[in-house]
Each structure stands twice: as structure tokens, then as C-alpha cells.
Amino acid sequence: MKEFVTRREFLRLGLMSGAGLVLVGCGPNDAAPGQPANQQGEQALNYPAATAVSETVQLAPTPQCDDHDETPAQTEGPYYTPNTPERTSFLEAGIVGTPLLVTGKVLSTDCQPLAGAVLDFWHADDGGNYDNEGFKLRGHQYTDAEGNFRLETIMPGLYPGRTRHIHVKVQGPETALLTTQLYFPGEPDNATDGIFAEALLMDVAEAGEGKTAVFNFVLG
């Protein structure tokens, strides 16, 4: 287990590049001893809208969009907590593990970037446990004018009965709410996880002592 990584050390690892990562989640029957489910059934996001983007903002060219299909939805799992803090980094005292930088875009089905979309992330710690008392490894953020998001965190540990994953809820200003999970390629448990979906694999790369992951969400 790696020792706590400060934000300064995270920057030194070179993880502030354009790469991005994706998030994944637990299934409805993932409850382990000592971890009671926070919620019964899925919940909608209830965060204030991001500040409107000025119409004079010049957007960057849209990314290549080979697949306009909406990102598949998946179960919320038992450990979602609403009203998380707004932040783009989960690195804080007591968080240990392999540094991970997740980045990407939120796009419409016609491949246009969605500014002001909200993303609410949560995942297990390095030991595979969820914080059901507070907000460690939990938080929401908004996309910028070009639809970009970025999250500094750690590699989630293996949760009993699941492959490695990150949970996320995503919603654009005028889109339906998407609840889904993101996965890591090359994980041995991908083959036996009943929830795993190949379409939700992130593009993961080594970056110094950590990793980067990229994923683009497509919302309808």
C-alpha cells in the first residue's frame, strides 16, 4: 500500500496531463458485513446548476465521435450518498493508494460538448471499503465550457464480489440523468463480474507511479 499522496506530490507525478479516467460502482447486492446500504433505490441529483456559460465563449473543436450511442446505464449500488461536496480532487489526509487522474468529456448524441453538466463520483478506498459516514472519495463537479471534467483520486480497491470500478451519476442541463459505473481494462475479475460491461471500460495508461484514465460520456 502506498503512503498518502499530497496534491503537490500528485502534480509532481505528471498526472495533470490531458488524460482522463472513468468511474464505476457496486451492484445492488454488494453489501458486505459492516457496510449498511445508504439508500434503497436510485436517487436523482439535486445540485444547483452551474453558472451559465457566456454565448461569446469560443468552444474548441469537438472531439472525434465515432459512436453516438448513449453511454449505458448501470445500477446505482447500495452506497450512494447525496449532497456531496463540490470538488475535483479526492486527495486528503487519510487517503492512501495509487494515484489516479480521470479525465474526459460529457457530450450530446450529436457529439457537441455539454457545458455545466454535473458529475457525481464515488468509489471504494484502497482496501475496498466505502465511507458511509462522511464524504471521503465522494464529490461532484461541473464540466467546463468545452465539456471537460477531471478528477484526482486513487485507484479503487477490490470490493468483495466485484471487479475494480468507479460509480458516477451524470446529467447535462437539458438531459436525462445517467447513473453508471466505469471499469478498468485487464482486471482478472472483469470476466466473472455479472455487472461488468465492455462499453464502460476506461482508456487507462501508466503515468509515473500512478495511472491516468479517460472516458467520454454521451448523454441523450
Q: How confident is the model at residue 67 (pLDDT cuts 50, 70, 90)?
A: low
Which CATH superfamily does the domain covering 1-30+64-220 fall into? Aromatic compound dioxygenase (2.60.130.10)
Question: Over the stretch 2-29, which tens digit does the pLDDT of each residue have?
Answer: 444 444 444 444 444 443 333 333 443 4
Q: What is the DSSP letter of 22?
A: -
Q: What is the DSSP letter of 15?
A: T
The residue ranges of every structural domain in the chain are 1-30+64-220
Report the share of the chain in percent with pLDDT over 90.
69
Place of cell 445500477: 75
Phi and psi at 120, nearest 5°, equal -115, 110
CA distance 97 to 157: 9
pTM of the model: 0.77
pLDDT confidence of residue 21: 37
CA distance 205 to 138: 23
pLDDT over threshold 90, residue 74: yes
* Amino acid at site 202: M
Pick the more confident residue, 69 or 91.
91
pLDDT over threshold 50, residue 109: yes
CA-based torsion, 24, 27, 32, 34: positive or negative: positive
Q: How confident is the model at residue 44 (pLDDT cuts 50, 70, 90)?
A: confident
Q: What value, to the nearest 5°, has the Cα angle with vertex 218 and ends 196 and 77?
A: 40
